[in-house]
Amino acid sequence: MDNLKTGLLIRELRKEKGMTQKALAELLHITDRAVSKWERGLCAPDLSTLEPLAKALDISVNELIAGERMTVQTPVEGLEKAVKEVIAYSENEIGKKTRAVKIKLAIGCAAACAALLAFLIFIYSPVIFQRGNPIPYLAAAMQINEDRPYVQVAVNDNADIYISHRGECPALFNYIEDTWNATFREQMGGTYFFVTDADALMVSAEVYWAKFTVWTIPNVTLAGG
């Protein structure tokens, strides 16, 4: 369909019938802006509008799509061309509608996923962001195995941070004792006391995501050693 050619035909026939754009629009139950766009060739009538529009203008759908009136003397080739244009137009409209539906579905799914994610973050944010950015902790937790029962998460000026499966980690305790030449003395809540000949080292433990324990090992002892 040639939008400009069809638009000029719609305008010509509408004026012949003494109808305004608004009158034609009301007859088709659409807006007059839609009629204006048709007549300016900016877009084509919707597939569902072709038949009532053709009826309102007293022409055939073939003539509407061809953008010209057809007489009895119209060559067979012209009719065949018009029919082909009708088929092509129909397929194009169906394709556009299918694409539009797919786009709407994709947007709807994306919006639903975003809403679900926002809901989960809102509900579980105290757990997800328990220690700030969860990515380093989860990345380290994925490396835990039988041969590697604890993994270092981060190092800073004040402490080294490790993660293990929930509960005490004997391998980590052995590491602390060997590194600091200390001995485990006692546990008080989430704090584990290790002592040397003169100093004490307080290692804190925190349950993380209900499945892991995060260990914070300070870089200094209580005596400031």
pLDDT in tens, 123-175: 878 888 888 899 999 999 999 999 999 999 987 778 999 999 999 999 999 99
User: Which residues on adjacent β-strands are paired with residue 207?
Assistant: 213
Cβ pair 28, 92 in contact under 8 A:
no
Give percent of the chain above pLDDT 90: 52
Cβ pair 52, 28 in contact under 8 A:
yes
Q: What is the pLDDT of residue 218?
A: 92
Q: Token pair of 69, please?
A: 């009136």
pLDDT tens string 102-119: 888 889 998 998 888 888
What distance in Å separates the CA atoms of residue 212 and residue 160, rounded to the nearest whole number?
16
What distance in Å separates the CA atoms of residue 166 and residue 207, rounded to the nearest whole number?
7
Neighbours of 10 (CB within 10 A): 24
What distance in Å separates the CA atoms of residue 49 and residue 59, rounded to the nearest whole number?
13
Predicted TM-score (pTM) of the model is 0.52
pLDDT tens string 67-112: 888 765 555 455 556 655 666 666 676 677 778 788 888 899 989 9
